[in-house]
Amino acid sequence: MKDDIIDLACDLIRRPSVSPEDQGCQKLIAQRLQKLGFSIEWMPFNDTLNLWAKHGSSSPVVAFSGHTDVVPAGDERLWKYPPFSAQIVDDMLYGRGAADMKGSLAAMVVAAEEYVKARPDHLGTIALLITSDEEAAAKDGTVRVVETLMARGENIDYCLVGEPSSAVALGDVLKNGRRGSMTGNLYIEGIQGHVAYPHLAENPVHNALPFLTELTTYQWDNGNEFFPPTSLQIANIQAGTGSNNVIPGELYVQFNLRYCTEVTDEMIKNTVAEMLQKHGLKYRITWDLSGKPFLTKPGKLVNATVDSLQQIACITPKLETGGGTSDG
């Protein structure tokens, strides 16, 4: 089984599937699963390809969720090994997506295959939900597939998301929840002018400083037993023409929140709008919601996963919800 997982992982890594491109990864997986009797359903939305594969037709439905897309490799000359070559050196697999998440995707596919081979008449349904839109917009992937399934009355009872979560040793951290992520793109309007005549201009940077101070020091919540407090970070600020004698006419501020279950995206939007209005700013703002917070409380799925890690990896994982978000 181990060699099969590594071979599949290498095949996937060698396909440069930079989001939202799939580069044939899902077709490769579908062909393998179809040979074992999995039903294959393609769900393309805009530029995103999604695969819904399942074996069985009864409840409960246990699904593996993952993505074939990867982030750009950047300057390939800076890589020790070519990013899409999938080279194994000193028992380490190198390549873009080896960790996030073609390695675990290969493991999930082979696990599903081995289970069906050993139990062809198993109870319930084994399914795989695979998308090529997780690393970028994450709008036409998992969310759209789940919405489609729900609209026709198909529910997923249990789901394992193969995102990398280990800290030091394989299996030492189990993410049983993730914070939500949303980004604000804020434009604050001013009046452009010459720095020698400030009375004829309106500097949006100066005007925005009190608001930005409040925004970055605001206590959104105190977190709870499962999640750390909500965090806001400014990611980008742009203003001016590059000249040292021109007062900018507009300020652009991009900020991101990683928020817990104590607040909602609507609460955040309303609070920011109230702040902007209080400070009398002329503005326009757009929001990108990458994912809402979710939590799987200790129960059947968590307990079964912990038991498996104890038996197979000889490790007891720590339950956490911090770190990055996921479309799961």
Catalytic residues: 69, 134
One-letter identity of residue 228: P
Q: Is 102 exposed, middle or buried (0-12, 13-18, 19+ CB in 10 A)?
A: buried
Query: Are the beta carbons of 327 and 134 closer than 8 angstroms?
Result: yes
204 cis-preceded (ω within 30 degrees of 0)? no
113 CB neighbour count, 10 Å cutoff: 20
- 3-state SS of the chain: helix, strand, coil percent to 5? 30, 30, 40
Report CA torsion sign: 205, 208, 212, 213.
Answer: positive
Secondary structure in 3-state letters for 243-312: CCCEECCEEEEEEEEEECCCCCHHHHHHHHHHHHHHCCCCEEEEEEEEECCEECCCCHHHHHHHHHHHHH
Return the DSSP state at 82.
-
Of 232, 248, 215, 22, the residue nearest 136 (C-alpha)? 22
